[in-house]
Chain A
């Protein structure tokens, strides 16, 4: 038994300075949601087990704990080292029902599950909803989905890939549920952008 445990790869390290690092990551997430569809810098020095990206790991380590369960998408759930890493560093339960999660981590954003699989809150308590954090490869301003809403002066456009082809329609349906709905956070290497439920997609810019 002991030999089996020792044979595994050693657990990757968490934040070098948990207090400062989680504050910095939280501020990036907060700014991303307060200024939607505007990519913010997110510097992370983590080496989590693949396919968990450093940015996904950083958001989880900064915000998940025993009160905030995590859900992992297929590619993440299929690698046990990912769950081991997250359990050790956050203490968060890892749930199999996406509706039971405070944060859903998605490595394969193109296969993003439908939003109604996640908790959407209730009309009385819209805060009891899942925040979906999805890793993409490209995240930049302009030439993509266009949005209006709180936090945006006039209109903002976000170029993110890969994402589901019908993301704009999904976000429009999500907006129609307001104040219920999920909040989507996209992360790419070194960047983060928020698409909270308050946003209205307005087609091509």
Chain B
């Protein structure tokens, strides 16, 4: 208990942390397998990252530097409140810079910058079971994982092709970990799936409501499911980021007015800000106020 805040370090009590830590160790030893854990009630509702928060609370130490992103952004409500939560209960340093962070908690994105081996990426996961919408019974999905029987998922992808002419799954795209378990990578765009493959950072996934933890160790093969004649591809964008002119990154569409005006900007705000600070200029940057043009001190 910290006298200054009245909270246990990182909010959770020690017994809960030990329970979660043991689950994390099993998750790392069996990559992609969903380890059940006794998820606690957190001071935030389910769906706001209670799984990710419990994983972060169990691994974080006083020397860690925490970054939290929500859809790539450091400054949305979810990211800001979780960052404040740990700054207050654990007293850890926080940052918005991907490079400076040792623990990055994320909702639905993987940062554009390549992650290093000193970093841990913690995903907030709503539905950890990739087969759940195909087979609602937990007893059955558990048995399918035990037998490595993923035919159902291939049928689903095949039906996409039969109906749409291509695999129409664009987020939470199923991936096979280390040649064995198929996992739901959380609702990241499929654009981010290749970043999980042979990633230098340890990746931990926490699902609070569904009470599951799973992991992808560093330098582990993560293969997005596909077919020989319909290979896995990622989204591509016709134009570069309107603020920093980056290409080959994931862009968000922003509606500008009620006359069909729109712009595409980097979903990863830190990546975009760094590029603007380096002097890259998108075609709409000149018209942007200084505060979002990366010129203001607190941007």
Contact = CB atoms under 8 A, between A and B. Distances in A.
A129 B22 CA distance: 11
A198 B220 CA distance: 11
B180 A20 contact: no
Contacts of B19: 67
A131 interface: yes
B62 interface: yes
B280 to A, nearest CB: 32
B32 to A, nearest CB: 9
A196 B61 contact: no
A22 B15 CA distance: 11
Interface residues of A, number: 41
Contacts of A20: 9, 61-62
A73 interface: no
Interface in A27-83: 27, 29-31, 33-36, 62-65, 67-68
Do most interface residues of chain A lie in helix, strand or loop, or is the interface mixed?
Answer: loop
B14 interface: yes
Contact of A68 (B18, B177, B178): B18
A6 interface: no
A126 B30 contact: yes
B29 interface: yes
Interface string B9-41: 100001101110111111111110101100000
Contacts of A68: 18, 22
Contact of B30 (A63, A67, A179): A179
Nearest to A153: B219
B36 A127 contact: yes
Contacts of A29: 25
Most B Cβ at <10 Å: residue of A62, A68, A196:
A196
A164 interface: no
A123 interface: yes
B29 A124 contact: no
B217 interface: yes
Given A34-B217, A102-B22, A178-B180, A196 B62 contact: no
Contacts of B215: 34
A197 B29 contact: yes
Interface centre among B14, B28, B59 (most CB of A within 10 A): B28
Contacts of A65: 15, 18
B25 A151 contact: no
Q: Which of A124, A129, A179 has the most CB of B within 10 A?
A: A179
B22 A33 contact: no
Nearest to A151: B217
Contacts of B255: none
A24 B61 contact: yes
Nearest to A25: B21
Interface of B: 8-9, 14-15, 17-19, 21-31, 33, 35-36, 58-62, 117, 142-143, 145-147, 177-178, 180-181, 198, 202, 215-221
27 contacts: A20-B9, A22-B17, A22-B18, A26-B17, A27-B61, A31-B202, A33-B28, A35-B117, A62-B18, A65-B15, A65-B18, A67-B15, A123-B146, A126-B33, A127-B26, A127-B36, A129-B26, A150-B219, A150-B220, A151-B28, A151-B217, A152-B219, A179-B33, A179-B180, A183-B25, A183-B26, A197-B29
